Every structure is written in structure tokens, then in C-alpha cells.
């Protein structure tokens, strides 16, 4: 491509609609655990808790095992549900997350169209169980040149160690000609800035940037990436 040699894609919230998968997973498990109906309002409360716990992971305040179970413990306590169910609920939740696949902006067609034109890699903080399942079910695993998961690397985005491990695996790559595309300012954009690569913030809702890190590019639709590349 004219401007870049390597393209790094975030998965949840970028190529795939994480909110849809999250809602379907939580609601299906409420039925399976016989916890009653899980309303959209309850899912929204869980999503807010989940976001806060993941941000604490990105800041290095908690470990992944702590946040995976802790978010459900907090959610269940607030809903009057036995928090002791959290570990088992989370274990099955990782599997259910991969059962619902919804693409953002025909992301599958976009990645497929770029295949062979620029090396494309997935970079994700999601668990191995959830990400492996959703990548397989979406078909994206057959399009990427490689997949990098924080759980396997040992570092979470935005840690410099995550990106150092990625580039160690890729071999000689000009970081100035590497672009990461993601929806998270605190994870993808902050991590990209720390790693010395170019960053593109996927911001479909047009949210204001109140977190500090400034992306090199900002897009509302994933197809806009073609003009940047």
C-alpha cells in the first residue's frame, strides 16, 4: 500500500460488534442458569461494570483472572444474584461470546479485499477461548496473516510489552509504516502511541475524545481506512 506496510486490527468493537455478542451471551446464560429474564437495562448495567473493570486491567491495577470474575461478582451483587455463581458463569460466558457474530460496516468484505495487498494481523485483549471461537465463526481467522492475543503474549494492550512481542514475531518492520485500527482510546490508541506506530481511532458514534491520547486518524466507517492506506 502507498502509506503503510502492516495493518493491525482490533477485534471487539472494531471489526466485530461486541455489544451484540455481549448482550446475547449474558441473556442466554441467564436462561441457562435459570436466573430469570435479563432485560436490556440489566445488560447495560453489566456493560458499564465490565468496561470499568477492563480499564483497570489496561492500567495494570488488576490481573485478567481478577477482572473476568470480579465484574460478574459486582454485577450479580447489584442484581441480588448469588455472586458465588460468577466463576462458572464467566467460564461459559467466554464460550457464548463467540456464538454471536455481527460485523461492523461489512468488515469481513473489507479485510477480505485487503488480503494479499497488505499483511493484516489481529491484536486483541480478549481471552483465548472467546477470541478463537469468534474468529473461527466469523471466518476472519482465514483472512488474517496472524493473530496476537494478550493472554498468550503475557501483556495487555496498551502495554509496550504487547507491541514489542508483536514486532518481535513479525521480524524487521518499520513501525512508522505500521497502522493500528481500534475503537478504544485507552487500549488501541494509547498502546499504538506508546509503541511508536500510527493510530486510527474507529469512532462510529462521533464521541468526543476526553482521554488524552491523540490518534493520527479518526474514522466513522471502516471503509474510510482504504483512503488512509
Confidence of residue 212 (pLDDT cuts 50, 70, 90): confident
Strand partners, 8: 121, 180
Same domain flag for 160 and 213: yes
**Quick check: is 123 in a domain?**
yes
The whole-number pLDDT of residue 213 equals 85
Domain containing residue 37: CATH number: 1.10.150
Confidence of residue 39 (pLDDT cuts 50, 70, 90): very high
The whole-number pLDDT of residue 197 equals 98
Active site residue 5: no
Tell me which residue range forms the domain holding 53: 18-96
**Quick check: is 46 in a domain?**
yes
Could you give the CA distance from residue 8 to residue 163 in angstroms, rounded to a whole number? 10
Does pLDDT of 227 surpass 90?
A: yes
Same domain flag for 73 and 114: no
Q: Last residue of a domain, which of 62, 96, 130?
A: 96
pLDDT tens digits, 44-53: 999 999 999 9
- CA 153: distance to chain centroid? 15
Same domain flag for 121 and 79: no
Give the total number of structural domains in the chain.
2
The CB density around residue 223, as the number of other CB atoms within 10 Å, is 14
The whole-number pLDDT of residue 210 equals 84
Could you give the CA distance from residue 137 to residue 134 in angstroms, rounded to a whole number? 5
Among 10, 12, 17, 105, the one annotated catalytic: 10
The whole-number pLDDT of residue 30 equals 97
DSSP 62: S
**Quick check: is 72 in a domain?**
yes
pLDDT tens digits, 5-31: 999 999 999 999 999 999 999 999 999
| 3-class DSSP state of 112 | helix
Q: What is the average per-residue pLDDT within 29-40? A: 96
Place of cell 503474549: 153
Domain containing residue 134: CATH number: 3.40.50.1000
Same domain flag for 208 and 117: yes
* Residues 163, 125 contacting (CB under 8 angstroms): no
Same domain flag for 151 and 219: yes
Q: Last residue of a domain, which of 34, 65, 96?
A: 96
pLDDT tens digits, 176-200: 999 999 999 999 999 999 999 999 9
* Highest-scoring range by mean pLDDT, 73-82, 90-99, 205-214: 73-82
| 3-class DSSP state of 174 | coil
Same domain flag for 30 and 131: no
Does pLDDT of 147 surpass 90?
A: yes
Q: Last residue of a domain, which of 49, 75, 96?
A: 96
Q: At what angle do helices 64-79 and 40-58 cross, to 10 degrees?
A: 150
**Quick check: is 1 in a domain?**
no
Does pLDDT of 203 surpass 90?
A: yes
- Dmax over CA atoms of the chain, in Å, equals 56
The whole-number pLDDT of residue 35 equals 96
**Quick check: is 148 in a domain?**
yes
Same domain flag for 148 and 216: yes
Same domain flag for 121 and 59: no
Amino acid at each position: 500500500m502507498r502509506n503503510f506496510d502492516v495493518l493491525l486490527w482490533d477485534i471487539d468493537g472494531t471489526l466485530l460488534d461486541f455489544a451484540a455478542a455481549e448482550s446475547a451471551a449474558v441473556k442466554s446464560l441467564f436462561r441457562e442458569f435459570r436466573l430469570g429474564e435479563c432485560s436490556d437495562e440489566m445488560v447495560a448495567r453489566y456493560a458499564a461494570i465490565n468496561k470499568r473493570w477492563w480499564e483497570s486491567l489496561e492500567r495494570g491495577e488488576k490481573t485478567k483472572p481478577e477482572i473476568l470474575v470480579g465484574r460478574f461478582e459486582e454485577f450479580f451483587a447489584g442484581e441480588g444474584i448469588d455472586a458465588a455463581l460468577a466463576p462458572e458463569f464467566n467460564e461459559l460466558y467466554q464460550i457464548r461470546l463467540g456464538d454471536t457474530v455481527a460485523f461492523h460496516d461489512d468488515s469481513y468484505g473489507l479485510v477480505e479485499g485487503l488480503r494479499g495487498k497488505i499483511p493484516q494481523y489481529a491484536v486483541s485483549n480478549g481471552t483465548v477461548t472467546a477470541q478463537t471461537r469468534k474468529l473461527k465463526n466469523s471466518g476472519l481467522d482465514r483472512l488474517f496473516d496472524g493473530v496476537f492475543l494478550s493472554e498468550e503474549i503475557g501483556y495487555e494492550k496498551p502495554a509496550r510489552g504487547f507491541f514489542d512481542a508483536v514486532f518481535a514475531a513479525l521480524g524487521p518492520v518499520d513501525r512508522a509504516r505500521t497502522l493500528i485500527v481500534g475503537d478504544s482510546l485507552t487500549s488501541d490508541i494509547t498502546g499504538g502511541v506508546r509503541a511508536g506506530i500510527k493510530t486510527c481511532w474507529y469512532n462510529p458514534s462521533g464521541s468526543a475524545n476526553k482521554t488524552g491520547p491523540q490518534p493520527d486518524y479518526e474514522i466513522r466507517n471502516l471503509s474510510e481506512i482504504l483512503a488512509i492506506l
